[in-house]
C-alpha cells in the first residue's frame, strides 16, 4: 500500500481536489469526491477509488487496501474537502472513467428514466429504490442533477455503485423502445390507468419515466409513451412526491414480475 502525508490546506493537490465540489470540474477532470466509510467500502469493492484521504488514527483500518493511494492528512484539510456537517474524517477520490467503462445496461433489465429531477435527495432516494426493486438500469435525461452531488450520494447510500447510470437523449430512448421496451409515463395531464388496474408481463421490458418535481415529464416523452399510469390516492392529497410515487410504482411492477 502506498502512503503519503499532506499537512497544508494550501497544498496544490488539496486545492485541486476542492474544485471537485463543482460539477464542471468533475466533468473536466473525470474525478469525484465521496465521503464516509460505508460508501467508500462500496467503491472499494467496485475498484473505483484512486485515492483515500484520512487522518493518522484511521491508517490501521485501511491496512488491507491495495492499489489505492492513501493520503494521511490533517482534519482542516478534510474539512476543506468535506461537504458534510458530520464528517467521518475519510474522503475518497473516484475515477469516473472507471464508472463509464462499466456502464453497459444489463440485458432484459427494467429501466428507470429520471427526467430533470432537481432535488438531490429525491434523486438519491430513487437510485436506491431502483436498486431495491430491480430497476438497476437508470437513465438521466434532460438536465437531471449530477449524481455526484454530495446530497445525492448520501441519499443513495452507495446504491449508485450497484446500478448502471447513463445520460441518454430522446433518440436513444426511442431506440430502446424499438428494442421492445415499453415506456411507462406518469403524468396527470394525460388519460391514465390506475396502477391498481395495471398488469405487467414478465415477457415485456419496461422503462418507468419519472419527471421534474414541479413540471412533471416533458411533452416529447409524453408523446412516445406506451402506457400512462397514476397512483390512486385520497382526494385529500393533491399529489405524491416524485420519490414516493416512484417507490410505489417500482414496488408494484417488481412485485408482479417477481410473482410470475
Q: Is the same domain home to 13 and 133?
A: no
User: What was the pLDDT predicted at 109?
Assistant: 84
Q: Write down which residue in 65, 83, 101 finishes a domain.
A: 101
The span from the CA of 43 to the CA of 65, in Å, is: 12
Contact 109, 165 (CB under 8 A): no
Q: Is the pLDDT of residue 244 over 80?
A: yes
CATH of the domain at 245: 3.40.1280.10
Total number of domains constituting the chain: 2
> What confidence tens digit (pLDDT) does each residue in 149-180 have?
999 999 998 899 999 999 999 999 999 999 99
Domain annotation covers residue 189: yes
User: What was the pLDDT predicted at 77?
Assistant: 96
User: What was the pLDDT predicted at 47?
Assistant: 93
Q: Is the same domain home to 129 and 251?
A: yes
Domain annotation covers residue 106: no
Contact 158, 38 (CB under 8 A): yes
User: What was the pLDDT predicted at 185?
Assistant: 96
DSSP 143-200: SPPPTTSHHHHHHHTTGGGGSEEEE--HHHHHHHHHTTEEEEE--TTS--EEGGG---
User: What was the pLDDT predicted at 235?
Assistant: 87
Q: Is the pLDDT of residue 146 over 90?
A: yes
User: What was the pLDDT predicted at 144?
Assistant: 94
User: What was the pLDDT predicted at 102?
Assistant: 75
User: What was the pLDDT predicted at 156?
Assistant: 93
Q: Is the same domain home to 15 and 96?
A: yes
Percent of the chain residues past pLDDT 90, beyond the cut: 80
User: What was the pLDDT predicted at 104?
Assistant: 82
The 8-class DSSP code of residue 235 comes to T
Which residue did the predictor score with more confidence, 260 or 156? 156
pTM recorded for the entire structure: 0.91
User: What was the pLDDT predicted at 101?
Assistant: 82
Supply the range of the domain harboring residue 207: 111-258
> What confidence tens digit (pLDDT) does each residue in 71-96 have?
999 999 999 999 887 778 999 999 99
> What confidence tens digit (pLDDT) does each residue in 198-235 have?
999 999 999 999 999 989 999 999 999 999 999 988 88
Q: Is the pLDDT of residue 106 over 80?
A: no
Cell numbers for 96:
469516473
CATH of the domain at 95: 3.30.1330.30
> What confidence tens digit (pLDDT) does each residue in 32-85 have?
999 999 999 999 999 999 999 999 999 999 989 999 999 999 999 999 999 887
Amino acid at each position: 500500500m502506498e502512503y503519503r502525508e499532506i499537512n497544508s490546506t494550501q497544498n496544490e493537490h488539496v486545492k485541486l481536489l476542492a474544485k471537485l465540489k463543482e460539477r464542471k470540474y468533475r466533468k473536466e477532470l473525470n474525478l469525484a469526491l465521496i465521503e464516509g466509510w460505508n460508501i467508500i467500502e462500496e467503491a472499494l469493492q467496485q475498484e473505483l477509488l484512486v485515492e483515500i484521504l484520512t487522518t493518522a488514527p484511521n491508517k490501521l483500518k485501511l491496512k488491507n487496501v491495495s492499489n489505492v493511494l492513501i493520503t494521511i492528512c490533517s482534519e482542516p484539510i478534510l474539512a476543506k474537502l468535506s461537504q458534510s456537517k458530520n464528517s467521518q474524517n475519510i474522503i475518497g477520490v473516484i475515477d469516473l472513467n472507471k464508472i463509464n467503462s462499466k456502464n453497459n445496461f444489463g440485458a432484459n433489465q427494467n429501466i428507470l428514466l429520471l427526467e430533470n429531477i432537481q432535488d438531490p435527495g429525491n434523486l438519491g432516494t430513487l437510485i436506491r429504490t431502483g436498486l431495491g426493486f430491480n430497476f438497476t438500469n437508470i437513465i438521466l435525461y434532460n438536465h437531471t442533477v449530477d449524481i455526484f452531488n454530495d446530497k445525492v450520494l448520501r441519499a443513495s447510500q452507495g446504491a449508485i455503485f450497484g446500478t448502471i447510470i447513463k445520460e441518454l437523449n430522446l433518440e436513444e430512448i426511442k431506440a430502446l423502445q424499438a428494442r421492445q421496451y415499453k415506456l411507462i409515463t406518469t403524468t396527470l395531464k394525460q388519460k391514465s390507468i390506475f396502477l391498481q388496474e395495471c398488469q405487467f408481463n414478465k415477457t415485456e421490458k419496461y422503462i418507468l419515466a419519472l419527471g421534474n418535481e414541479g413540471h412533471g415529464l416533458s411533452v416529447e416523452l409524453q408523446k412516445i409513451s406506451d402506457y400512462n399510469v397514476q397512483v390512486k390516492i385520497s382526494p385529500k392529497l393533491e399529489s405524491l412526491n416524485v420519490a414516493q410515487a416512484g417507490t410505489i410504482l417500482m414496488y408494484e411492477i417488481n412485485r408482479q414480475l417477481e410473482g410470475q
